[in-house]
Structure formats: structure tokens, C-alpha cells
Amino acid sequence: MNLTMTRPEVYNLIDGERNYQDDRWNANSGTGEGWHSPQEWLSFIQDYTNEALHVGTRQADRYALEQQMVCMRKIAALAVAAMEQHGAPARKV
């Protein structure tokens, strides 16, 4: 596993995860599946955060790191999906 990545490489991974999520959860089916409130998005993010923390407390870093970073990729993509649906305020300078 590559321990450092460029920002474009990271965004490419997030885009791939978003495509997977859309396919997995029928987000583009027109049925409304995949639409969630901010509260629900935060619950999904918390669940993956808890999973990553659990792995880190049960396994040595050499085993846990890859699983934790899988969760990190999913968390990043979930946050993107939430902002796609609900927008987000720009950072004020």
C-alpha cells in the first residue's frame, strides 16, 4: 500500500468510491434511493469511523492500516455524497 499520495490521486480514489456507492445504492435510479438527510450521512460516517477505530484496537498496525484506510476512503466519499445532495457553505477567508 502506498503510504503517500498526491491530491489528484486521492481525488481519483474518492471519485471511484463515489461511483461504486452510486451503483451499489441505486442513487441514479430515479427512485429516491440514496437520498439521505445530513443526520443520516453523519451516522454512516460515524459507523465507518467506529469500524476503523475498532480495527485499530484489535489488530496490530501492520494489519489494521489498510483496513482503516479503506474506511477513510469510504468516509471521504460519504462526505462528498452528502455535499452533492445538500451543498455546503464555502470557507470564509
- Ramachandran sector of residue 5 (left: φ over 0; alpha: ψ -120 to 50; beta: rest): beta
Q: Enter the pTM of the model.
A: 0.89
C-beta separation of 7 from 70 below 8 A: no
Q: Which three cell numbers stand for residue 78?
A: 460519504
Average pLDDT over residues 47-60: 97
Residue 1 vs residue 61, higher pLDDT: 61
**Nearest-10 crossing angle of helices 38-58, 61-86:** 180
**How far apart are the C-alpha atoms of 24 and 46, rounded to whole Å?**
20
Average pLDDT over residues 4-27: 92
C-alpha dist (Å) from residue 60 to 56, 57, 90: 7, 8, 39
Confidence of residue 29 (pLDDT cuts 50, 70, 90): low
Instruction: Express each pLDDT in 72-90 by its tens digit.
Output: 999 999 999 999 999 999 9
